Amino acid sequence: MVIRAVVKRFYSNSFMRIVDIIQRKRDGHELTNKQIVTLLDSYLEGTVPDYQVSAFLMAVYFRGMTDAELKTFTDCMMRSGDLVEFHGVNKFLVDKHSTGGVGDKTTIALAPLLAAFDIGTAKLSGKGLGHTGGTIDKLEAIPGFTFPETRDELVKNVNETGIGIMGYSENIVPLDKRLYSLRDVTATVSSIPLIASSIMSKKLAVYADGIMLDVKVGAGAFMKNEEDARLLAKTMLGIGKSFDRKMVVHLTNMDQPLGLAVGNSLEVIEAIETLKGNGPEDFTQLILHLTGTALFLNGRAETIEAGTEMADRMISTEEPLEKMRMFIRSCGGDAGIVDDYSRIPVATNTLDVLSKESGYVSQIEAEEIGKAAMILGAGRPTKESVIDHSVGLVLNKKVGDKVKAGEKLATLYYTGDEHLQQASEKTVKAFSFSIEPVPASPVLLDTIQEL
């Protein structure tokens, strides 16, 4: 991992007032590269106050950004901290990013499947804040598992197993953290250009040969409707293309949780079961499609569809499972969990949540299911909260399934019953029913390769 110093920019042109930059954006005029760089560099240096940058963010919220502005804005964000490259890695590297969702254990199943095709995963991940844990939290549910802390350890893992994952550095895109804290309190979080630059600055700061973005759409996602999600996808794709990166963006459904398991250990088990060919249909479909996309990006497959067929033939063979064992072992974890789930902590107390009515499941509010898991201890209400890796829930019904009153909707796994009733009630309320049959929800909504 090479960290390149960020060179401070100097300009000899005439003095430029920050208020003039704000006014120009407010009035709908395109900003020059120099104006954007001056604003952001000055803010990072502490010579521009929060209130002026807040005004600028609000102007962007209403006026948007041109492609040229967005590239410069993203470039400034990207170069505000460390730029990371993985020298010494002898594989085609793919970075998969998801905008987040309930039951999203994608990386845990995807990375070993990619490794079976000699495609490397070298990515930085974070801990979760909210409904459920992030990739770091899920993998830390494995006894003895610790993430690499140095460049040499990460590169060694990737070269030997095909998989390298470690925690994010605080020095990567620090400007994004400062800007997001302002967006959060100025009602500008939902600006498409600001979302796109935030995500892409982090993706571009950490090098990958190919980037796959998974934009979640629906009630349980940040993007609530497909129109906005499609605009975000194309905006991020445009940024990636402007930096000459190979990219594909997928729109995926989050009107219900992904797969069946929600909770850290439970999701690790479901990811392994998927590699054995026993995963839920929606999750398996997503994993195969993403693998097909990676094979397309590195030239092994002529189309994503052809790559998906290759992935379908590979899954449930021994090779992805062996890659998973090797990865866990390389991080000091108990690789025996791949074959014996009693070796990973899962709460022994369970409660079946029963349906109060009959009909067809028409919707499962993913966000409410996520909140139920968090109440049980699977997520973090605050940064200081401690996750219980053993708790969570497993759905027994999905959208389109027929249900009778008294039939099991889900099973809660818990260690303490203090908030059990609240979690149970949230789970029941997350389900909506229809008298008429309801078609199953597709997990893949669209794949976007071109602007």
Per-residue pLDDT tens digits of the chain, which is 451 residues long: 444 444 344 333 446 799 999 999 999 999 999 999 999 999 999 999 999 999 999 999 999 999 999 999 999 999 998 888 888 888 999 988 887 778 889 999 999 999 999 999 887 776 554 556 678 889 999 999 998 877 788 888 888 899 988 776 778 899 998 998 899 899 998 899 999 999 999 889 888 999 999 998 887 777 888 899 999 999 999 999 999 999 999 999 888 999 999 999 999 999 999 999 999 999 999 999 999 999 999 999 999 999 999 999 999 899 999 999 999 999 999 999 999 999 999 999 999 999 999 999 999 998 899 999 999 998 877 666 788 999 999 999 999 999 999 999 999 999 988 899 999 999 999 999 999 999 988 899 999 987 6
Same domain, 198 and 239: yes
Q: What is the DSSP track for 76-129? A: HHHTTS-EEE-TT--SEEEEEEE---TT--HHHHHHHHHHHTTEEEEEEE----
| Residue 183 is among the residues annotated as catalytic for this protein | yes
Same domain, 188 and 172: yes
Among residues 345, 339, 1, the alpha carbon closest in space to that of 164 is found at 1
Same domain, 42 and 188: no
Please give the pLDDT value at position 153: 84
Q: Indicate the residue among 40, 61, 83 that finishes a domain.
A: 83
Q: Indicate the residue among 320, 338, 356 that finishes a domain.
A: 338
Please give the pLDDT value at position 224: 81
- CA separation (Å) from 264 to 62, 136, 261, 294, 424? 39, 10, 9, 26, 18
Please give the pLDDT value at position 133: 65
Same domain, 244 and 220: yes
**Cα torsion 126, 130, 133, 137: sign:** positive
Same domain, 139 and 267: yes
| Residue 98 is among the residues annotated as catalytic for this protein | no
Same domain, 260 and 359: no
Same domain, 115 and 238: yes
Please give the pLDDT value at position 385: 74
451 occurs within a structural domain: no
Opening angle at CA 352, ends 349 and 353, nearest 5: 130
Given the residues 176, 214, 255, 388, select the one marked as catalytic. 176
- CA separation (Å) from 37 to 186, 242, 256, 351? 22, 18, 41, 56
Please give the pLDDT value at position 222: 75
Q: How many domains does the chain have?
A: 3
C-beta separation of 393 from 410 below 8 A? yes
| Residue 198 is among the residues annotated as catalytic for this protein | yes
Structural domain range at position 21? 2-83
Starting at the edge strand found earlier in the chain, the sheet holding 402-403 runs 402-403, 359-364, 431-434
Opening angle at CA 215, ends 100 and 253, nearest 5: 85
439 occurs within a structural domain: no
List phi, psi (to 5°) of 33: -55, -45
423 occurs within a structural domain: yes
CATH assignment of the domain containing 251: 3.40.1030.10
Please give the pLDDT value at position 416: 87
Same domain, 55 and 116: no
Given the residues 91, 202, 230, 380, select the one marked as catalytic. 202
Please give the pLDDT value at position 6: 43
Given the residues 80, 198, 265, 441, select the one marked as catalytic. 198
DSSP 3-state assignment of 415? coil
Same domain, 41 and 161: no
CATH assignment of the domain containing 381: 3.90.1170.30
| Residue 202 is among the residues annotated as catalytic for this protein | yes
Please give the pLDDT value at position 338: 97
Helices (H), 276-347: 281-297, 304-314, 318-330
112 occurs within a structural domain: yes
Same domain, 188 and 233: yes
| Residue 250 is among the residues annotated as catalytic for this protein | no
Q: Indicate the residue among 338, 370, 400 that finishes a domain.
A: 338
C-beta separation of 365 from 430 below 8 A? yes
Please give the pLDDT value at position 127: 57
Given the residues 25, 97, 203, 397, select the one marked as catalytic. 97
